[in-house]
Amino acid sequence: MTLAFLDKYNVVDYRTLRAVGMSHVAISSAVDCCLLKLSRGTYSIIRACTEHKHRPVTKLISDDDWVDFFRTTTPFSRAADYRFDEHVARLKIVHYRHFRAADAVSGVSAAILHELPLYKAELERIVVSHPSAASRSPEIIRWRRHFSPEDVCRVHGVRSFTPVRTGLDLIAESGPAGGMAALEGGLRTQVERESGDSQIGMRNPQRMHTIGREIVARDFVPAAMRLRQGRERALRILAIISPLSENYAESRTSFALHQMGLHDFTQQWNVGRDGDLLTRLDFLHRPTNTVLAFDGGQKYANFGGERLKHEGRLQNELLNMGFRIVHLEINDVMNLKRFEMKLFAQAPQLLDYRGKPTLK
C-alpha cells in the first residue's frame, strides 16, 4: 500500500525535470499548466502538455489515471471537492523532502495522512511535532512538544502520530467535536481491520459497536492517560465515541446529542419489512420512534429523479410504520442552538428524555 501510493500521481522532483532537459524557466512556466507544485522542488505531472518547452514532462508520466482525472474534471469542480484538496495535501506530506529526523507529522496533517474525518481544515502548511525544536516557514509549522514513542507510527513511509494520538490532539486543536469525529473515524477503520470485515457496520452494527468499545479500552484510554494536558476531557469523549459513525456529519450529530443530554439515540438501526431489510436509519430514538435523517441535494443530483422518488416512497413507508422523521443538514448540527430549536420543535417528546450533558 505504501509503495503503491508513492508510485502513483506522477510525482517528480526538480532534479528529475532538469535531467530530461527542462530549464529552470520552463519548469516555472509549467506550474499550473502541466505541473502541480506540491512543495519546494516537488511537483505532480497533471497533463500531457503539447507546449514545446513543456513536452519533456510527458516522458515521466507513469500514472495515466491521474492525468485522465484532470482531463475529465474542471478547476471549479476540483475546488468544490474537499476530497481533492485533502488528497493533494496528503501528496504534499508524503513527498515532502525536508523533514528532520525527529519530526513526527501531527495535528491536522496527521489526520490527512490517516484519512480521518475533517471539516474545512486548514491544509496549506504541514504540521509536525519535534521533541526539542520549533520553527515556521511557508511550508511547515514545527511545534516543540513531548510525545511518547508509543504514539508514533509510519504512514506511507512518513513518521507520524498514530490515529489515536491524532484524534486526542485534535480535541484541543480543532475543538472537542472535531476531535471526536477524528477518533470515531480512526476507531471505525481499526474495527474493520481487526475484524477482517469491511462491511461489519452494515452486516452487524451491534458487534461492530462491541468490538469498538473493547478497542477503546485497550488502545485509546491508555493513549489518553499519556496526555500531559486535557486528559479528563479526552476520557469523557472516549466514553461516548462509537465506530458506527460513517462520516463527519454523523459524528457531529452524535456529539451535539450528547451536548443536549440526549444519550439514548441508537446509530445505524436496521428497519425490516416482511422479513427483508427496508432501510438503515442513521439515528433512531427508540422510546419515541424519532428518526434523524441527513438530507443532501447532491445525492439526488448524482443519482437523478429516481433516487428522489425512492426517498419519497421510503419516507412514506416509515411514517406509516409510526416513525417521526427529522431531516437534517450539516449546518443544523454545526450550530447547537439551531439544532436544539429544530429538533425539539419537530419532536417535542424528546424533551422528556433529556439528561445531564456529557460534553459542554
CA atoms within 13 A on the CB side of 120: 5
The verdict on 205 and 99 lying in the same domain is yes
Residue 127 domain-assigned?
yes
User: Does the pLDDT at position 305 exceed 60?
Assistant: no
- Laid out side by side, the sheet with 42-45 consists of 11-13, 42-45, 35-39
Question: Residues 229, 142: one domain?
Answer: yes
The span from the CA of 67 to the CA of 100, in Å, is 32
Q: In this predicted structure, what is the pLDDT of residue 278?
A: 75
Supply the angle between the helices 163-173 and 107-114 in degrees, to the nearest 10: 140
Is 70 exceeded by the pLDDT of residue 98? yes
Q: Are residues 11 and 102 located together in one domain of the fold?
A: no
Task: Report the half-sphere exposure of 58 (CA within 13 A, side-chain side).
Answer: 9
57 alpha carbon, distance to own chain's centre: 33
Q: What is the pLDDT of residue 274?
A: 64
Q: How many CA atoms lie within 13 A of 203 on its CB side?
A: 7
The whole-number average pLDDT for the span 87-95 is 95
User: Does residue 117 sit in the same domain as residue 212?
Assistant: yes
Same domain, 164 and 267: no
Residues 126 and 183 in one domain: yes
**153 falls within a domain:** yes
Q: Are residues 156 and 274 in the same domain?
A: no
Q: Which tens digits make up the pLDDT trace of 5-15?
A: 667 999 999 99
In a domain, 43, yes or no: yes
Question: What gap in Å lies between CA 131 and CA 145, rounded to an integer?
Answer: 5
Mean of the pLDDT values across residues 54-78?
Answer: 94
Domain enclosing residue 229, as ranges? 90-237
Look at residue 359 and tell me if it is in a domain.
no
DSSP 132: S
Give the pLDDT band (50/70/90) at residue 311.
low
225 belongs to a structural domain: yes
- Residue 246 located in a structural domain: no
Is residue 336 in a domain?
yes
pLDDT tens by residue, 317-352: 888 888 899 999 889 999 999 999 999 999 999 999
Say whether both 156 and 193 belong to one domain: yes
Mean pLDDT across the stretch 51-79?
A: 94
Bigger pLDDT: 205 or 304?
205
**Nearest Cα to 7, choosing from 69, 65, 86?**
65
Do 304 and 183 lie in one domain? The reply is no
Instruction: Supply angle C-alpha 10, 11, 15, rounded to 5.
Output: 120
What is the structure's pLDDT at 304?
A: 43
259 has pLDDT over 80: yes
In a domain, 243, yes or no: no
**How many structural domains does the chain have?**
3
> What gap in Å lies between CA 176 and CA 181, rounded to an integer?
9
**Beta strand spans in the chain (E):** 11-13, 35-39, 42-45, 104-105, 126-130, 135-136, 140-144, 152-155, 158-161, 266-273, 276-285, 290-294, 324-328
Per residue in 143-202, pLDDT tens? 999 999 999 999 999 999 999 999 999 999 999 999 999 999 999 999 999 999 999 988
Same domain, 220 and 269: no
Residue 219 pLDDT greater than 90, yes or no: yes
128-137, 148-157, 206-215, 277-286: least confident range: 277-286
- Same domain for 148 and 94, yes or no, is yes
**E strand or H helix that includes residue 195:** helix 176-195
Per-residue pLDDT, averaged over 258-271, amounts to 91
Q: Residue 128: is its pLDDT beyond 50?
A: yes
| 132 shares a domain with 60 | no
